Structure 1
Amino acid sequence: MKGKLFIVGTGPGAPPIRTFRMVEAIKQSDVIVAYTTYAKLIGDLVDGKEVITARMKEELYRAKVAIQKVQEGKVVSLISSGDPQVYGMASPALEMMCKNNLDLDFEIVPGVTAALAAAAKLGSPLAMDFASISLSDLLVPAEEILHRVKKAAEGDFVIVLYNPINKPLLERAMAIISEYRKPETPVGIVKSAYREDEQVIITNLSDWKRHEGIINMITTMIVGNSRTYTCNGKMITPRGYDRRYNFELNNDS
């Protein structure tokens, strides 16, 4: 029997925001390989399946086990939160297959990444060009990360910060952004998007540190560009319609 690997994005974790294909792939699988927390988030889908869990920082172990199970002829779902392409399991799994000269049957199943989930809770901060940057320096040197932050700030991109768990690195990144943005620039902080303990905060560059205590590995931050503003408690980044068109409603009967 020929095995198959699904590299699955579960989105934020809440069932209402799962994709149909994600649920279908897991149901078709014999084996589920996941970080322990992610396995719990899909617990309602895995009855009767072999579930292999691992701790954080064991991404290569998860990829290796998943590939070995596929070689045994099993259908396997290798789980990522959000989207597997965005700081997820797609890259290590494909790299491992490439470096071992393996041509396995696989499918990458996209999911709602944290940037989009957080943005939806904040309003419309990603309506124009944006950059996403991971602040995890476990695999990438801090100075390289900060170089990317600087370039994104210089380019006036809306900036999405993933994995803001290293507080000194986060503070350095926000200090760099503050060199290029006004103090009143909106900053969105979303923790546990679409989960029971969700927290959504809109603050600004001059005041964001007041909320630093809630920021952890399941927090996503979005820093607006020079045109981002807040209205009715939501962040809005204009697409540019206001430069060419009139937004006034026609009240004529």
Structure 2
Amino acid sequence: MVGIGPGAPEDLSGRALEALRQAEVIVGYRPYIRLLEGVLSPEQEVIGSGMRQELERARLAVDLACSGRRVAVVSSGDAGVYGMAGPVLELLGKSGGRDRVEFQVVPGITAASAAAALLGAPLMHDFAVISLSDLLTPWEVILQRIEAAAKGDFVIVFYNPRSKKRVNQIGEAREVILKYRRPDTPVGIVTSVGRPGQMLVISDLNGFLSQEINMHSLVVVGNSRSYVRDGFLITPRGYRL
């Protein structure tokens, strides 16, 4: 399982690069494989597939690995954070392949880490990462998690905040957070982090919904002590400066 980082070639770790070069077969979501142009060798077998085919990719990777092939399954960011490490490891266990296959996760820079670096220092204190996609998790459960994070004064990073078919969830999340935080709480939005077309906006809880937010965006909501200075979003850790 290889995490390839947010997208820019310079964010691909040396360990990930070595794992990719040693693999006989590369399996992944087509847009992620395109991010590896210039990294992979023509001699390697590359198998790409589309959105919502995670289980098909996992089964194929397990079958190939059990047949003796050296397989790298790629995920953007970190393979163990909303990535392919979970389904592949679960399928290996259910198939009995864990006894025959050496399994390894090669970590990568997460989208949350990359976005935070661009925004400044928003994650300097406790934070929660929540996906607003309800494809695999009931929306009622997601709302409970948002409520808990907001009540606990966590900085909150939202993955998958909005898509063409899923447009209202980020607004509902905002209403929950407003029960516990001021309307002027800073909010950072980073879209296509580390990729062409990257955009960065710093707004606040009152007005951030007027900004462009899509499935390639991450939304970072500060806690009660977060503030903006010199164009950077900062969450103080509590040092006496």
TM-score category (smaller protein): over 0.9
In structure 1, which of residues 28, 40, 43 is the aligned counterpart of residue 34 of structure 2? Answer: 40
Q: Deviations over 1:105-161 (max 9, x none)?
A: 011000001110100010000000000001110000001001100000000000000
Which residue of the partner structure matches residue 106 of structure 2? 109
How many pairs are equivalent?
Answer: 235
Question: How far apart, in 2, do the equivalents of 1:70 and 1:44 lie?
Answer: 25
In structure 2, which of residues 79, 93, 98 is the aligned counterpart of residue 98 of structure 1? Answer: 93
**Alpha-carbon distance, 1:227 to partner:** 0.1
- Structure 2: give runs of 5+ residues left out of the alignment: none
Question: How far apart, in 1, do the equivalents of 2:76 and 2:123 lie?
Answer: 20
1:171 pairs with 2:167: no
Which residue of the partner structure matches residue 195 of structure 2? 195
1:70 pairs with 2:65: yes
Which residue of the partner structure matches residue 53 of structure 1? 48
Question: How far apart, in 1, do the equivalents of 2:34 and 2:237 lie?
Answer: 39
**Alpha-carbon distance, 1:217 to partner:** 1.7
In structure 2, which of residues 215, 235, 240 is the aligned counterpart of residue 237 of structure 1? Answer: 235
* Consecutive aligned runs of 4 or more in structure 1 exceeding 4 Å deviation: none
Note the aligned Cα RMSD (angstroms). 0.8
| Pair member with larger Rg | 1
Do the aligned partners of 2:188 and 2:219 also contact (CA within 8 Å) in 1? yes
Which residue of the partner structure matches residue 4 of structure 1? none
Which residue of the partner structure matches residue 80 of structure 2? 85
Q: With structure 1 as the length reference, what TM-score do the two structures score?
A: 0.91
Code of the residue aligned with 2:107 in structure 1: it is P
Which residue of the partner structure matches residue 219 of structure 1? 217
**Alpha-carbon distance, 1:216 to partner:** 1.7
**Alpha-carbon distance, 1:101 to partner:** 2.1
Share of identical aligned residues, percent?
48
**Alpha-carbon distance, 1:178 to partner:** 1.2
In structure 1, which of residues 139, 142, 145 is the aligned counterpart of residue 139 of structure 2? Answer: 142
Which residue of the partner structure matches residue 180 of structure 2? 180
Do the aligned partners of 2:3 and 2:77 also contact (CA within 8 Å) in 1? yes
Q: With structure 2 as the length reference, what TM-score do the two structures score?
A: 0.96
Code of the residue aligned with 1:215 in structure 2: it is I
In structure 1, which of residues 118, 128, 131 is the aligned counterpart of residue 128 of structure 2? Answer: 131
Question: How far apart, in 1, do the equivalents of 2:129 and 2:47 lie?
Answer: 30
- Structure 1: give runs of 5+ residues left out of the alignment: 1-6, 248-253
